[in-house]
Amino acid sequence: MATLTETAGRRRAAPALGDRIRRELRRSGPGYLFLLPWLIGFFVLTLGPTLASLYLSFTNYDLLTTPRWTGLGNYEYAFTQDERLGNALRVTFTYVLWSVPLKLAAALGLAMVLDRSVRAVGIYRATFYLPSLLGASVAIAVLWRQIFGGEGLVNQLLATVGIHGPAWVSHPSYALSTLVILAVWQFGSPMIIFLAGLRQIPQDLYEAASMEGASGWRQFWKITLPLLAPVIFFNLVLQTIEGFKAFTQAFIVSGGTGGPIDSTLFYSLYLYQEAFANFRMGYASALAWILLVIIAVFTAVAFGTSKYWVYYEDEGR
Amino acid sequence: MTRTFTRREFGGLVASTTAISALASTGAFAAGESVRLIWWGNPDRDKRTNDVIDLYMKQTGTEVVPETYGWNDYWQKLATQAAGRNLPDLIQMDYRYIFEYARRQQLAALDDYVGKTLELADFDPNQLASGKVDGHLYGISMGANSMTYVYDQAVLGKVGVELPDPTKWTNEDFEKIGMEVKDKLPDGMFFVQNMGSVEPRLETWMRQRGKALYTEDGTIGYEVEDLADFFTYWKDLQDKGLTPPADVQSQDADGKMETSMIVTGKSLFGFIHSNQLVANQKLMPDEINITMIPNLTGGQPGQYLKPSMLLSMAATSSDKDAAAALMNFFITNPDANKILQIERGVSGDASVREELITGLSPTEKMVIDYLDIVATSVGPLPPPPPKNAGELELALRPAWDAISFEQVTPADGAKKYYDDAVAILARA
C-alpha cells in the first residue's frame, strides 16, 4: 500500500510515455487481441481485395494470365464506348427508382396498420417479415421465375378469368417489373424498423391533435412523417444501396443472361458477366469502382439534403 | 463484477483456443492421392459419369472427386477456378474454348503420355488431331458428333408426314412441310423452335453459303447480308406461326435441355447435337429421331463432324500421372465405355466402337446411323475460334431477341450484331 507521501510525489510528476503506453495496452490490449480474428478477416478478406480490385481496374486481366497495365483504358471505354453499360445503368436506376419508394411505402403503410393494437400482431409481424429473410435467396428467385413464367401460377390464375398472360419473366417489357415486385415483396425488414420508430412517437401528440380537430391525414402529414423522418432517412439510404447492389434475383430470373434484350441487366450482373463470362476482370473491377462512386454520390446527396427534412430529437429545431 | 485474468490464465486460454482451432482445420489437409474431374452435362450424363468414377475407384483405389454444372454456369465456374489456380485435374473441354485455355497456359500438354499411360493406338488420327493446339496435344476427343434437327417421331407420324432424304432436303422443303402440318399439331405445339439465337445453326447457314463463322486469322467469316438473311428467315417463320412466339421462346434462356422447346412440348422440331439424343430421349415420353439440317438450295454441305467435347488436363494439376491414368480409363477402357456409351459422342477409339456396337439401344443405334449418313455429306472442320468467340455466342441471344420482340428489323438487328461482333473480336 503506497504511503501518502509516495502518492503525492507520483501525482506531481507527469507519467512517462512508456508508462502511458503500457497502461493503455493493459487496458485495451486484451480487447484488440479478441478483435484480432475479425481484424484479420477485415484486412485479408475485405480491405485487401478491395484495394486489389482498385489496382486491377487499371489493368487488363483475363483471370488466366498476369494482369497487364492499361492505365485509364478501362474507365475510358466505360464512359465513351460501352453501350451495354448504358443499358445496365438504365435498368438499375429504373429498378431502384421504382422498388425503393414502393417498398418503403408498403413498409410504412403496414407498420401503421400494425401499430394500432391489432389482435395477434406478433403473427402478422412475423408473416410480413418472413419474405425479407428469404427473399434474397436463390430458392425464392427460382420460385419467382416459375410463378411468373409462361405456365406459372400467375398465368394460371389469370386464365381462370379468361386472360391469357404472356410469359412475364421472359418478355422484355415485363421482366423487370417481376423483379420490382420481388423487391417490394420483401418490405418486411424496413417495416419492422418503421414499427419501432412509430412506437417512439408520443401518443399525447396525437391526442392533442385530435382534440384540436385534426383529421387522420393531417396527423399523418404533420406528426407521423416529421417525427419518423430519421427512420425514413435510414431506410431510404439502406434500401437504395441494396437496390444498386442487387444481383441474385436478376441472375436467377434471367438465367444469367440479363435478358431478354438486357431488360434485366442489373449493373452487378453486367459486372459479373464481364468478369467471369467474358474474361475481363480488369474492366469489371473498373465497373465495380464506378458503382461505388455512384452509390457514394447518392448517399452523399441523401445526407446533404437530410438537414432540410430530417429532424432529430436532440437538435432543438 | 468483472474478473481479471492473471497472465498465466490468459496465456492458457489463448493457447487452448489456438490448439482447438488448429485441430479443426487439419481435416482440410487430409486429402491424399485424389483426382478432381469436372464436366458439364445433363442428368443422364451425370449418372453415367458418376458410375464410371465409382468403377474406377473400386478398381484402382484412387479417389476421384467429381464436379458438374450446366453449360451456362460451367465456363464461368472454370474461369473462377483458373483465376484461383485451382482448376480440377481433369477438365471436360469444348472445341471453342480449348484454344483459349491452351494458349493461356492453363492446360497441360499430353504428348508425353501418348503411347504410355494414354493407350491411343486405336484412336482415329483425325479425331486426335482435333485436340491439337499449335502442334501439341491438349485434349482428347471424347466422341464425335454433328448438328441435328431433332423431332418428335410420334407426333410426326400422327400428322402423317414422311421426311425427305436428309442429305438433300432444303429450307424450302422444311417450310412447306411446316405450313402443311402447323394446324394439325397438338395444342400449344409449334412446328419448330426458333433458332435465331442458336449459333451452331448460324454456323451451318454460313457454311452452306461457302462462308464460315470465323476466318483462319480470327476475323468474321461472313458478310452482314448473310446474317440479315438468317435473321429474316427465322423472323419470317415466327410471323407465319411456325415457331413459338417471342416470349415463349425466350423462356429457353438458360440453355438447359429440360427447358428446351421440344422437351416441354412446345415444338415439333428442335436443335441438338447428335450425342444429346439419348439424354433428350430420356426426358421425353414420345420417341424422337434426328435428321440433318436442311440445306440451302444449291449450297454446300453445312455440317461437319466435330469433337463433341475433349478431356484435358490442367497445367496446375498436382498429380499428372494419376490424372492421365483416369483420362485413359475414360477414353479407352471398355468397361467404362460400356457405361458411357455414346452419350458424349461416338468414340474415336476403334476397339471401343467395336465393343459398343453390339450393346447399343435402338436410340443409340440411331445416332450411329445418323453419323454414317452425315459423314457422306460434310465439310471440313472449321478453323479454331478466335479469342472472345464465346462472347459472340452470348451476344447473339439479345441481338435475336430484339428482332423477335420486334424492337428492330432483321436488317437493322443484323447490322448492329455484325458491328458489335467486329468490335468484340478486335477488343483486347
Closest Cα in chain B to A261: B398
**Residue A67 exposed, middle or buried by CB count within 10 Å (0-12, 13-18, 19+):** middle
What pLDDT does A4 receive? 52
User: Which of residues B126 and A250 earns the better pLDDT score?
Assistant: A250
What pLDDT does A218 receive? 85
Closest Cα in chain B to A173: B405
Tell me the shortest Cα–Cα distance from A63 to chain B, in angstroms.
Answer: 5
What pLDDT does B161 receive? 87
pLDDT at A189 over 60: yes
What pLDDT does B30 receive? 39
Strands (E), A103-256: none
CATH topology of domain A82-309: MetI-like fold (1.10.3720)
The CATH homologous superfamily for domain B147-302+388-427 is: Periplasmic binding protein-like II (3.40.190.10)
* Mean predicted confidence (pLDDT) in B34-39: 92
* Mean predicted confidence (pLDDT) in B386-405: 88
Query: Cβ separation of B105 and A167 shorter than 8 Å?
Result: no
Query: Cβ separation of A64 and B79 shorter than 8 Å?
Result: yes
Task: Report the residue of A28, A32, A40, A63 to disrupt the B interface, i.e. the one with the largest count of B CBs within 10 Å.
Answer: A63
A243-270: per-residue pLDDT in tens? Answer: 999 999 999 888 888 878 889 999 999 9
C-alpha distances in angstroms, B258 versus B41, B149, B189, B282?
A: 12, 17, 16, 10
Q: Do domains B32-145+306-371 and B147-302+388-427 have the same CATH topology?
A: yes
Closest Cα in chain B to A259: B398
Task: Report the residue of B25, B250, B256, B420 to disrupt the A interface, i.e. the one with the largest count of A CBs within 10 Å.
Answer: B250
* Mean predicted confidence (pLDDT) in A78-95: 92
* Mean predicted confidence (pLDDT) in B212-234: 92
pLDDT at B29 over 50: no
Strands B34-40 and B90-93: parallel
One-letter amino acid at A231 equals V
Q: What is the rounded average pLDDT for all residues in chain A?
A: 87
Contact residues on chain B for A172, CB-CB shorter than 8 A? 401, 405, 407
Count, in order, helices (H) and strands (E) of chain A. 16, 2
Residue B227: which of B249, B250, B252, B197 has the closest Cα? B197
pLDDT at A317 over 50: no
* Mean predicted confidence (pLDDT) in A226-251: 91
pLDDT at A315 over 80: no
Cell of residue B21, nine digits? 482451432
Separation between Cα atoms, residue A84 and residue A262, nearest integer Å: 8
ipTM of the complex: 0.76
Separation between Cα atoms, residue A171 and residue A130, nearest integer Å: 29
Share of chain B above pLDDT 70, in %: 92
Residue for cell digits 474406377? B56
Query: Cβ separation of A64 and B250 shorter than 8 Å?
Result: no
Contact residues on chain A for B100, CB-CB shorter than 8 A? 279
| A-B contacts (CB, under 8 Å) | 90
What pLDDT does B27 receive? 41
* Mean predicted confidence (pLDDT) in B201-227: 92
Query: Cβ separation of B251 and A166 shorter than 8 Å?
Result: no
What pLDDT does B402 receive? 93
Q: What is the rounded average pLDDT for all residues in chain B?
A: 87
- Say how many CA atoms lie within 13 Å of B353 toward its Cβ: 15
Q: Which of 3.40.190.10, 3.50.50.60, 3.40.50.720, 4.10.95.10 is the CATH number of B32-145+306-371?
A: 3.40.190.10
What pLDDT does B26 receive? 46
pLDDT at B28 over 50: no
- Phi-psi region for residue B219, left (φ > 0), alpha (ψ -120 to 50) or beta? beta
Three-state SS annotation for chain B: CCCCCCHHHHHHHHHHHHHHHHHHHHHHHCCCCEEEEEEECCHHHHHHHHHHHHHHHHHHCCEEEEEEECHHHHHHHHHHHHHCCCCCCEEEECHHHHHHHHHCCCECCCHHHECCCECCCCECHHHHHCCEECCEECEEECCEECEEEEEEHHHHHHCCCCCCCCCCCEHHHHHHHHHHHCCCCCCCCEEECCCCCCHHHHHHHHHHCCCCCECCCCCECCCHHHHHHHHHHHHHHHHCCCCCCHHHHHHHCCCCHHHCCCCCCCEEEEEEEHHHHHHHHHCCCCCEEEECCCECCCCCCCCCCEECCEEEEECCCCCHHHHHHHHHHHHHCHHHHHHHCCCCCECCEHHHHHHHHHHCCHHHHHHHHHHHHHHCCCCCCCCCCCCCHHHHHHHHHHHHHHHHCCCCCHHHHHHHHHHHHHHHHHCC
Q: At a CB cut-off of 8 Å and minimum separation 6, what does A230 contact?
A: A197, A310, A311, A312
Separation between Cα atoms, residue A9 and residue A1, nearest integer Å: 14
- For B253, the closest of A60, A255, A278 (CB atoms) is A255
What pLDDT does B91 receive? 94
Q: Is the Cβ–Cβ distance between B152 and B288 less than 8 Å?
A: yes
Closest Cα in chain A to B10: A30
A10 pLDDT band, cuts 50/70/90, is: low
What pLDDT does B31 receive? 46
Contact residues on chain B for A171, CB-CB shorter than 8 A? 246-247, 250, 405
User: Which of residues A81 and B149 earns the better pLDDT score?
Assistant: B149
Q: Which residues of A touch B (CB under 8 A)?
A: 30, 33, 60, 62-65, 149-150, 166-167, 169-172, 254-257, 259-262, 272-273, 276-279, 281
Closest Cα in chain B to A73: B428
Tell me the shortest Cα–Cα distance from A247 to chain B, in angstroms.
Answer: 15
Residue B132: which of B99, B158, B168, B165 has the closest Cα? B99
Share of chain A above pLDDT 90, in %: 50
A297-314: per-residue pLDDT in tens? Answer: 999 999 998 888 887 766
Backbone angles phi, psi at A254, to 5 degrees: -95, 5
pLDDT at B254 over 60: yes
B121 pLDDT band, cuts 50/70/90, is: confident
Per-domain residue ranges of chain B: 32-145+306-371, 147-302+388-427
Closest Cα in chain B to A67: B83
Tell me the shortest Cα–Cα distance from B111 to chain A, in angstroms.
Answer: 22
Contact residues on chain B for A64, CB-CB shorter than 8 A? 79, 82-83, 101, 104-106
What pLDDT does B2 receive? 55
Closest Cα in chain B to A168: B247
Residue A124: which of A139, A133, A135, A113 has the closest Cα? A113
Backbone angles phi, psi at B69, to 5 degrees: -140, 170
Cell of residue B188, nine digits? 400449344
Tell me the shortest Cα–Cα distance from A74 to chain B, in angstroms.
Answer: 11
Tell me the shortest Cα–Cα distance from B15 to chain A, in angstroms.
Answer: 13
- For A254, the closest of B105, B253, B402 (CB atoms) is B253
Q: Which residues of B touch A (CB under 8 A)?
A: 5, 10, 14, 72-73, 75-76, 79-80, 82-83, 100-101, 104-106, 246-248, 250-251, 253-255, 388, 390-391, 394, 397-398, 401-402, 405, 407, 428
Contact residues on chain A for B85, CB-CB shorter than 8 A? none
Closest Cα in chain A to B73: A256
Cell of residue B333, nine digits? 477402357
* Mean predicted confidence (pLDDT) in B85-104: 89
Tell me the shortest Cα–Cα distance from B99 to chain A, in angstroms.
Answer: 13
Closest Cα in chain A to B428: A60
What pLDDT does A14 receive? 66
Q: Is the Cβ–Cβ distance between B96 and B389 less than 8 Å?
A: yes
